[in-house]
Structure 1
Amino acid sequence: MPSGSLSVRNGTFSSQSVRPRSPIHASDNASTVKATSTGESTRDTGMIGKRRKSFLLLGALFAFSAGCLYLLFQSFPDLAESDKQHVHVPRTLDDAKELGRVLSMYTDTHFPQVVVGYACVYVFLQAFAIPGSIFLSVLSGYLFPFPLALFLVCLCSACGASACYLLSYLVLGSEFVSQYLPSKIEYWKAQISHYGWVELLSTLVFLRITPFLPNWSINIASPVIGFPLSIFFLGTFIGVAPPSALAVMSGTQLYELTSATELLTLRAVGLIGLIAVMALMPMAFKRLLGSRVTEQRDLQD
């Protein structure tokens, strides 16, 4: 009797032969597992290679931009040896004071060079998400008239943020950004998927005014979640104006400031909060108007 097992059918016992598993089937399963692991390994290798190329390209762009800044400053007028040590990106309020003292001696005689140099450094910091632009905003109020200083800060912020936007879109890519900011990316994709240009602009202006999200994360994530570059530029230009205006006004009294915390007084925080709420009013008004129109159509039907 062939080897098998007993089973019950209609109250009687019957034997069923159990065939051993074919080695061919086992080989097929092993091949499938091997192919799957090979495919995953190839995909991971491709991602690592793509990521490496992105970082190399980003490093090359950074080095090229830094080299251009160096050549630009080489064309500036000669500085005294005692002043050269103060010409760098300010990290503290004291650095901003020393840099303002040095640049103020050249503003009258070399005004175009000072403006161009200031703008290029500001855009460079914003494009590569390097800290220090807040002190440059304060410094502009000390070096330039208020209207020019505010316009310059807003324009440089918008240009630098747009450069960071393009670096994220063209160099890093959506896969890289989504991997490192998965929760935020998915959340904002869901939020703005049904927005029109009014809602997009109001949202971006609100985010720029308020400190809920770091500016660098907004710059990097915006192309991935679907913000058009034109709206991104305009929203940044408008959104940075209120906090920048406070920084510029503080710069007119630069040497009277003793700490960076003096920039954020209770009155200033309240004013920024009020402007942030006003930034959302166009979106709220459009939604309210849309709901009223929908109600009128329902009543007519």
Structure 2
Amino acid sequence: MPQPDALDALDLVEQGLGARNSPLEQQSAHHHQQHSSKSVKIDRFLWLRRIFLLALIFTASLSMLVALLFSLARVNSTSLGRGGGGGWEFIEISREQQQQLLNLRFPRNIDELRSLREALGNYQQQHRQLIKLGIICLYLFLQAFMLPGSIFLNILAGSFYSFFEALFLVTVLATLGSSLCYMLSRFILKDIVYYYFPERCDRLAKEVHSHRHNLLNYVLFLRITPLLPNWFINVASPLAAVPFREFFLGTFVGVIPAGVVAVKAGRILSQLNSLNDLYDSRTLAALFFLAFLVILPVVFKRRELRNAAKAT
């Protein structure tokens, strides 16, 4: 049985409340779907140019990221730190700490995340801003190129910083990273994304069109519900004609609940066994209830408008 996504959930909400599209809306949506369902003609030369441009951007970004991360590992016993008298002083880092930094790798599970946190612990106390810069650059890289792993950075930030500092950091980074992905899709990947996901893109475009008067609420709904992948929202939003302003604001507010969950998990990192511990039944129920509250005013407003139209 295929797993339901956020679009299915929204349909169930509206159907359960008795919401129906007017004939004019149905005709407009049908015309929009027919138009967007036309087969994409593959311009191989254009695709090659866009893929080459994407590869160039990816390579340049990866090179800068690797250079930054290696600069963290190269900080050794001659690392400079601000002295108490306004000058500079040398900070000693043991050979064991140097070796830990050289052996760093991106975590694939909670155990590896704990090891990473331990390796960075003493280093973070002496180089707080460098660690934050590394988290920022790595986070934006993962989000922009639709790579998994940002959840680990959310948890890591929660273990390093205070609750509100970590929450603000991951919220801003998630929004900026998603915006970069949005722009990559809008100017480079749009045709390629539609070629591989035509039905999902058409369906999202139809939903966006039907919620065009309350688009911010709809983007919030998509962001809060964990069923529709964030990477797909990022790359498909330009195809679905979601304006950047609504995308940006909806993302900024919509990622806060998931950020709260991850940051709180970072406070108890030593007690976690797996990522499944983050989203237990109570947490999922709370997220879906919050998403229901976000979309509920839109549903009632649409019903009132239809009833008023019928009365006239």
Assess same fold via TM > 0.5.
Answer: yes
The farther-off stretch of 283-292 and 135-144 is: 283-292
Is 2:162 the partner of 1:179?
A: no
Pairs within 5 Å for 1:5-16:
none
Match of residue 305, structure 2, among 284, 290, 299: 290
| Identity of matched residues, % | 34
Match of residue 187, structure 2, among 160, 165, 170: 170
Pairs within 5 Å for 1:270-285:
270-285=285-300
Q: Report the TM-score when normalising by structure 1.
A: 0.77
What amino acid is the match of 1:184? R
The farther-off stretch of 207-216 and 240-249 is: 207-216
* Whole-angstrom distance in 2 between the partners of 1:275 and 1:92: 28
What amino acid is the match of 1:139? L
Pairs within 5 Å for 1:85-124:
85-124=102-141
Tell me the residue number matched to 1:249.
Answer: 264
What amino acid is the match of 1:153? V
Pairs within 5 Å for 1:55-134:
55-76=51-72, 77-78=75-76, 80-134=97-151
* Whole-angstrom distance in 2 between the partners of 1:235 and 1:166: 16
* Whole-angstrom distance in 1 between the partners of 2:53 and 2:105: 25
* Whole-angstrom distance in 1 between the partners of 2:289 and 2:164: 22
Match of residue 212, structure 2, among 182, 196, 204: 196
For 1:47-91, what per-residue CA distance to the aligned partner results, in whole angstroms no more than 9, with x for missing partners?
Answer: 111111111111110111111112323443337343125533221
What amino acid is the match of 2:208? I
* Whole-angstrom distance in 2 between the partners of 1:157 and 1:282: 26
Question: Greater Rg, structure 1 or structure 2?
Answer: 1
Is 2:250 the partner of 1:235?
A: yes
- Asked if the contact 2:211–2:218 (Cα under 8 Å) also holds between the matched residues in 1, the reply is no
* Whole-angstrom distance in 2 between the partners of 1:171 and 1:144: 36
Q: Displacement of 1:152 after TM fit?
A: 0.9
- Asked if the contact 2:201–2:239 (Cα under 8 Å) also holds between the matched residues in 1, the reply is yes
What amino acid is the match of 1:200? L
Q: Displacement of 1:182 after TM fit?
A: 0.8
Alpha carbons of structure 1 residues 276 and 85: separation in structure 2 relative to 1, 3 Å? farther
Tell me the residue number matched to 1:149.
Answer: 166
Tell me the residue number matched to 2:12.
Answer: none
What amino acid is the match of 1:57? L
For 1:218-250, what per-residue CA distance to the aligned partner results, in whole angstroms no more than 9, with x for missing partners?
Answer: 111100110111211111111111122111101
Q: Which runs of 5+ in 1 are unaligned?
A: 1-42
Tell me the residue number matched to 1:17.
Answer: none
What amino acid is the match of 1:82? Q
* Whole-angstrom distance in 1 between the partners of 2:185 and 2:257: 26
The farther-off stretch of 279-288 and 202-211 is: 279-288
SS at match of 1:131: coil
RCO greater where, 1 or 2, for CA within 8 Å and sep 6 or more?
Answer: 2
Name the Cα RMSD after superposition: 2.0
Q: Displacement of 1:276 after TM fit?
A: 1.3
* Whole-angstrom distance in 2 between the partners of 1:111 and 1:84: 15
- Asked if the contact 2:101–2:120 (Cα under 8 Å) also holds between the matched residues in 1, the reply is no
What amino acid is the match of 1:129? M
- Asked if the contact 1:90–1:136 (Cα under 8 Å) also holds between the matched residues in 2, the reply is no
- Asked if the contact 1:86–1:95 (Cα under 8 Å) also holds between the matched residues in 2, the reply is no
